[in-house]
Amino acid sequence: MAPNEAGDELVFFVNGKKVVEKNVDPETTLLMYLRRKLGLCGTKLGCGEGGCGACTVMISKYDPFRKKILYPLQSELCNREIKWGQIHVPDIPDMERIAKSHGSQCGFCTPGIVMSMYTLLRNNPEPHMEDIEDAFQGNLCRCTGYRPILEGYRTFAKDMNCCGRVANGTGCCGSGKENTMNGGCCGGKANGPGCCMNGKEDSMTITSSNLFNSSEFQPLDPTQEPIFPPELMTQSNKQHKQMCFKGERVMWIQPTTLNELVALKSQYPNAKLVVGNTEVGIEMRLKNLLYPVIIAPAWIPEMNAVQHTETGITIGAACTLKSVEEVMRKAVADLPEYKTEIFKAVLEQLRWFAGPQIRNVAAIGGNIMTASPISDLNPVLMASGSKLTLVSKEGKRTVTMDEKFFTGYRKTIVKPEEILLSVEIPYSKKGEYFSAFKQASRREDDIAIVTCGMRVLFKDGTSRVEEIKLSYGGMAPTTVLALKTCKELTGRDWNEKLLQDASRLLSGEMDLSPSAPGGMVDFRRTLTLSFFFKFYLTVLQKLSKSGTKTVSEPIPSNYISATELFHKDPIANAQLFQEVPKGQAVEDMVGRPLVHVSAVKQASGEAVYCDDIPHYENELYLTLVTSTKAHAKILSVDASEAQSVPGFVCFVSAKDVPGSNATGIANDETVFAKDVVTCVGHIIGAVLADTQEHSRRAAKAVKIKYEELKPIVTIQEAIEKQSFFKDIKRIKKGDVKKGFEESDHILEGEMYIGGQEHFYLETHCALAVPKGEDGEMELFVSTQNPMKTQEFAANALGVPSNRVVVRVKRMGGGFGGKETRSTILSSVVAVAAFKAGRAVRCMLDRDEDMLISGGRHPFLGRYKVGFMKNGKVKSLEVSYYSNGGNSVDLSHGVMDRALLHLDNSYNIPNVSSVGIVCKTNLPSNTAFRGFGGPQGMMIAECWMSDLARKCGLPPEEVRKLNLYHEGDTTHFNQKLEGFTLQRCWDECLSSSNYHARKKLIEDFNKQNRWKKRGMSIIPTKFGISFTVPFLNQAGALVHVYTDGSVLLTHGGTEMGQGLHTKMIQNACQTILKRLEPIKQSNPKGSWEDWIKTAYESCVSLSATGFYRIPDVGYNFEKNEGKPFSYFSYGVACSEVEIDCLTGDHKNIRTDIVMDVGTSLNPAIDIGQIEGAFVQGIGLFTMEELRYSPEGNLYTRGPGMYKIPAFGDIPTEFNVSLLRDCPNSKAVYSSKAVGEPPLFLSASVFYAIKDAIYAARKESGLTEVFRLDSPATPERIRNACVDTFTKMCPSAEPGTFKPWCVRV
């Protein structure tokens, strides 16, 4: 049937209001439509690939096949055509709870999280805590550390209690009963003196653990939810008709019958079939692919049917993964256990398959036909011998998913005109066992590194193999069967000899080229053996339980944990802080846990971010044109093809800059590259067009010719070629040579610390509005640095700074990434607006942002440390190298701080250090939370950890021995005053129940061969002040208007850290003093009365404030001065468990004690500590930037770059603010809190290293070993040397070209 040429109507409801759209462009995503057409800007663009949850909505729809209303969660980035559905953006209790429980910091992710919770409650008004945690698998947050979100939403849980443990049971904070592993509340002080539940630490100090009062929350009333529109119910019962929507490039057809679908596929054999559009939409958006015809078969009854047959369950290809999960779960509950082995494996894979937003819309047929080599399900379907029914005009045929099904990378035997109608997943038989395994960089919502399905069928009543199939993903361009191995194992008995032979055979058959795409070759090869070993043990255990008599050996008791599927206990936590003193005035807000001033607006989506600003008339959209080469001469730039794109306005380049094209902190960058590019992502030009879609297409049409030059990509290459930025810094103290001579031992080594992407949820965004006179320009920018934004834009425009106004309301996260690098976009947008004479807007896509804006500096540290037999450090020689990228930016400041923190918290009498910034052809690296401090301290903890091992002493004792004391002098000759670290250390040891748990960990490790636990306690000492003296100043201006309202203007920017909230808490004392006589003369008057009287009495209602930190300044050459005003201190103790076979780890518990002085706002300060800590978990255990040898960044979005998710935080997460430690150097005795806690997450890294030591000991390895950061599953598994790793030896470096390099 020919599609309707005139186009069809799209009918849906948004928040109860009917919307009718004609001539919809299929390339318009729901996100774009809601934001631009309906002005619903609460829904955010975070990544553009359904990986962060910022664009989450709930689309309720009537399912005609199941005859019920569904409330599925969805990502709005799927180009979905909805005829009968209702989109909700609610005003409900879960908004209030996330706000008042301090679960919103920058707020950019908050509406998406609210929608996830809202959807869960619509489907299940009384969820369990596990349901709540599962609901957030598709949501990311970069600020909060997730704990307060879960804490707030725990109040909805049916099994809610005080701390996350079983109420008043073992381990509960109110029970007094210690958990055998976790030590109980407050280190075992439950309900005694100093317990968090008691409320009193001593007679002088009141301690609290209540950051919010849940009794104040409005109750959830499901009866008050909007009903599903009756009109849609009526239409749903009518006969569907085929629908067609045509855009500029794409036609979308939605047939209603199988015959229509078959006819369309015959007419358009190359058309893509989509249900959820979770793959095709990404390919079109991010891979620049175009599919002119898209067919949506979601309404075809046969493709939505589920049938139970004699041999298995047949599932329609259009069934969503969520519905497949429901079918499988019911089958497992209803059918005999022996028939459901395969179904259980499907469920295990779906458990970790993407997030709910994707599972709710993605179809099983799409997963199969995408033919991804790392598909989670295809190995299961292949190993189980699932059957696929295909249909075309020629009729139906059935094929088995076997080794012939996939013919090449993303290719199958399915003919272009054929359609996958259904898949039959078979029942398992008696004597048949099935397992599925997956290893990814992150447990939740992550693509597989290696995945597999494994099936074995035994001869009746024996352990002799009748059939075996081992299928792997991630080991070839397709999903593959290990045919040779399976053939050799058939007919063999299931015993140790079979295991050995299988491992040997698999290591040969599942081989990979050392240059294989995706890298991690040794790890992937080892995983194939590890997975089979897990399967072998699992089957051995099941055979033993089944009573099979021919099982030759039982599974050893210390091997049993290797067969356990991953599980995580419910989150538990305690947050302790010092309450304000008795007698503090009620109106005095300082020290109280006030809610973030914008939290409610952020939760409701009302908070305005840069791209939420309404569009100006005739506004243009800008898309950058960037270099695809790391180092090259530009031979030509041809924008002629771009001009043919609809809506194209102009191309902007260096010749259009009216002022200076030179820019950057060191004036060593350009607004636009002119003759040479020095990194992939170097901005060459920009395209202006009427819409974002048109500007994107036009930018991709710009053709650039290069003459390539040899790039320098890695630190090692820079060292070899002596490519360094000038200004090499050194710090020397004492006599290093003599110190080494006096030492009992000398240890030498090196450590590499990878970089880190900021991954603020709101990417760089700028809007420039020319004012039409005197070159004036108004810039709305998501930046931490309005001053440099103004200065650089004015410089590029050739006007004085006073002609450029920069406005920053708030940012959706920053973390240092918007300190200077935001200017590379804002200056371009300003120049473009000048040229066009019209407002110009640009918000970078996530892949663009990650490509061009740089991140945390990768570091290489080389050290030589001399120490005594008791572990006392005598002398240290250390060299730090950082990868600065292609410009100076802030790299010298970062290196300065690294050198000033090379001691972490340890007194080293003799030090010689040098810091070198490498100049490479990568985008310039920049500021990031901690600003070099974490890298400097991490290397200190590396040698401290190793020397403790060399001495054979407990690491905590060696660390304690070397800690500074009050009055000691640092290696940069600053005296330590108000040194509270010893108190933090002792309190953390006590509250974590360290020594008792250490003994339990030792027992656990003796009882488990393939799971190991480790624990580490790590201190931090973080200097507060800028090392550039003139930056240590700030000003503020307060206006009180005649109606009593107050305007506070200050030099800081709000990016979620609660700065505005704290500023409001610290109201201006100057004006209050001026009002004192007026208040005394009218004590019963209102604030408005007093202000009116003051105005009429000509009393100034404005006040300015200015402060500079006194006596700060340091000279590196002389090693004298005072670089820091004071120090923030903290200690963290973390316990982890690793899977020695896969490299997986889980964070069991963390206890933090942090000195923040006298807290201005405990809720915000604890939020900063938790957020920094979890960001540090990412830095040290998960987040890995991967570059090609040519300097091209592979990890450009959440699909490949993994930040911590909800499931990655410690299961038990306790934070305590040190009591009675006022800081005389800052306002209200407070301390800085944003950056210092991040390094405490090194405790997780060194706990992992501790666990790896236990694993290596099983293989007879006790010597010190190198573990670089981050401690990814790959590094953990490779470090746990055993039989399997030895069977997969590494290729000799230099004999191959690696897929990626360590920069």
231, two tokens: 């009109």
* CA atoms within a 13 Å half-sphere pointing along the CA-CB vector of 720: 7
Spatial contact of 811 and 782, defined as CB atoms under 8 Å apart: yes
- Integer Cα distance of 1072 and 816 in angstroms: 35
Q: CA nearest 56: which of 321, 440, 347, 361?
A: 361
* Distance in angstroms (rounded) separating the CA atoms of residues 460 and 456: 12
The structure tokens 């990626």 sit at 1300
Distance CA 306, CA 424 (A): 10
DSSP track, 130-164: HHHHHHTTT---SSS-SHHHHHHHGGG-TT--SSS
Q: Given 509, 757, 941, 1235, which residue is catalytic? A: 1235
| Angle formed by the axes of helices 341-351 and 321-334, nearest 10° | 140
Q: For residue 1179, give the 3-state DSSP assignment.
A: helix
**Range list of β-strands (E), 675-826:** 676-677, 683-689, 703-708, 729-733, 745-753, 765-770, 777-781, 804-807
Question: Do 1269 and 1179 contact (CB within 8 A), yes or no?
Answer: yes
Is the torsion defined by CA of 1273, 1275, 1280, 1284 positive or negative? positive
Distance CA 1216, CA 153 (A): 22
Give dist(CA 654, CA 675) in Å, integer.
Answer: 10
Residue 480 contacts residue 453 (beta carbons within 8 Å): no
DSSP H or E segment with residue 1113: strand 1113-1115
Distance of alpha carbon 1060 from alpha carbon 1064, whole angstroms? 6
Cβ distance 1134 to 1150 under 8 Å?
yes
1153's enclosing H/E stretch is strand 1145-1155
Where would I find the H helices in 335-474?
Answer: 341-351, 356-359, 364-370, 378-384
Contact 208, 197 (CB under 8 A): no
State how far the alpha carbon of 754 is from the alpha carbons of 488, 855, 1022, in Å.
Answer: 43, 10, 21
Question: What tokens appear for 165 in the block?
Answer: 């443990």
* CA 329 remoteness from chain centre: 30
Which residues fall within 8 angstroms of residue 1042, CB to CB, at 6 or more apart?
A: 1091, 1092, 1095, 1101
**Rounded Cα gap, residues 1138 and 1280, in angstroms:** 10
The number of helices, as runs of H, and strands, as runs of E, in the chain is 36, 49
**Annotation says 1235 is catalytic:** yes
Element (H or E) spanning 329, and its range?
Answer: helix 321-334
Tell me how crowded residue 1097 is: count the other CB atoms within 10 A of its CB.
10
Q: Which residues contact 337 (CB under 8 A, 6 or more apart)?
A: none
What is the distance between the alpha carbons of residues 964 and 971, in angstroms, rounded to a whole number?
11
Query: What does DSSP assign to residue 451?
Result: E
What φ, ψ does residue 1118 adopt, rounded to 5°?
Answer: -95, -10
| Nearest alpha-carbon partner for 161 in 145, 175, 144 | 175
Residues assigned a catalytic role: 1235
